[in-house]
Structures are given as structure tokens and as C-alpha cells.
Structure 1
Amino acid sequence: MVDLSKEKLELDYPCNWTYKLVVLEKINIKRTVKDVVLEREHTVIESKTSAKGKFKSYTLELLVHNEDDRKTLFEVLGEHDDIKMVI
């Protein structure tokens, strides 16, 4: 198996970046995402619903300006009470 943990991701910024979000089914995803990204232009697309219908996943795409921006968004999304997982 190849260990990629020491490899640095090479990206040309700014670029579009995609996050996968998992939330409880009842969550208003548009409001939740707006809490984090504020007025930044973004797209949210529903992906899947869990087998029992308790969770939904969404794809969030937006422009990130640099590596710090990309990582900060990942952290802030993950800290939001309504978001159970960010990938």
C-alpha cells in the first residue's frame, strides 16, 4: 500500500472545491451552509439519504482562494452543530 500522508496536495488557487456534508434529515441545509459561507457564491446539491432516512448527504461546491481558506472552511463546517461529518 502506498502511504500518501506525507504528500502535499498541489493546487492552483483560486479553484472550485467540493465538500461532502452529512446532516440529519430534518436540517435546513441552505441555512446551515449560509451560516458558514455567508455571502460567498456556492452550490449545494442533495446527494443521498441513509437507508433508514435519518441522514442526508450533500455536495457543497464553492471557490476557495488559497490553502488556508480551504482548510478553514473544512474546520468551520465540521464545527457547525448541524453538520455531523465533512469529507
Structure 2
Amino acid sequence: MEIINDREEKLELTYPCSWCYKLIANEKEALEEAVSDVIDKREHKLTHSKSSKGGKYISMNLDILVHNEDDRNFIYEALKAHQHIKMVL
């Protein structure tokens, strides 16, 4: 078995900082609703990224200020667990 990246480097960020999540869902309205459910009234920017060739999927970028690593990971996990979101990158 070949190990591609055997380094155990930790991402070093200075908080608070802006973070971008790429979200993939079946439809724009459902994705917008999911973001609203997860981040409530926190200030953010949600912008269109791409749509799949057949129009089955849409991706959007969510830019938000995260306050610490726990905050960043909580948002990621909450978005990933939401029923309307297919994938979070």
C-alpha cells in the first residue's frame, strides 16, 4: 500500500477568519434553506458556483466568519448532516 501523504501537518489558521464551504445539493432553494437552518442569522455570503451538465446538481460557495476551529468544524458537520445537502467540501 502506497502512502500518498504521510505528513501529519495541521492546518494553522488565525481566528477569527473567513472560511469558504462548497456545498452541493439538488436544488438552489433547498440549499438556501439548509444554510439558513444551520447558520441561522449569522452574516454570510452564499454565491452560485456551478450547475451539473444535466442540471441535477448545483454547487454554491458559503463564505462565513468562523470564530475558532470548533466553530468551523461544527458548521461543516451540521451542513454535512443536513438532509438537503449532498456534499460539503
TM-score (norm 1): 0.91
Gaps of 5+ in 2: none
* Shift in Å, 1:2: 5.9
- Bigger Rg over Cα: 2
Range with bigger deviation, 23-32 or 73-82:
23-32
For 2:62, give the aligned amino acid. L
| Kept after mapping to 2: 8 A contact 1:27/1:82 | no
| Matched residue, 2:32 | 30
Q: Is 1:14 the equivalent of 2:16?
A: yes
In the TM superposition, 1:1-87 aligns within 5 A as: 3=5, 6-25=8-27, 27-87=29-89
Query: 2-11 vs 41-50, which deviates more?
Result: 2-11
43 and 55 in structure 1: CA distance in 2 versus 1, 3 angstrom threshold: same
Given that residues 22 and 58 in structure 1 are in contact (C-alpha distance below 8 angstroms), is that contact kept between their aligned partners in structure 2? yes
Distance 2:80 2:8 in 1: 23
Q: Give ranges in structure 1 of 5+ residues lacking alignment.
A: none
Normalised to the residue count of structure 2, the TM-score between the two structures is 0.89
Q: Percent identity?
A: 48
Q: Deviations over 1:45-71 (max 9, x none)?
A: 011000110000000000000001101
Segments of 4+ in structure 1 off by > 3 A? none
Number of matched pairs: 87
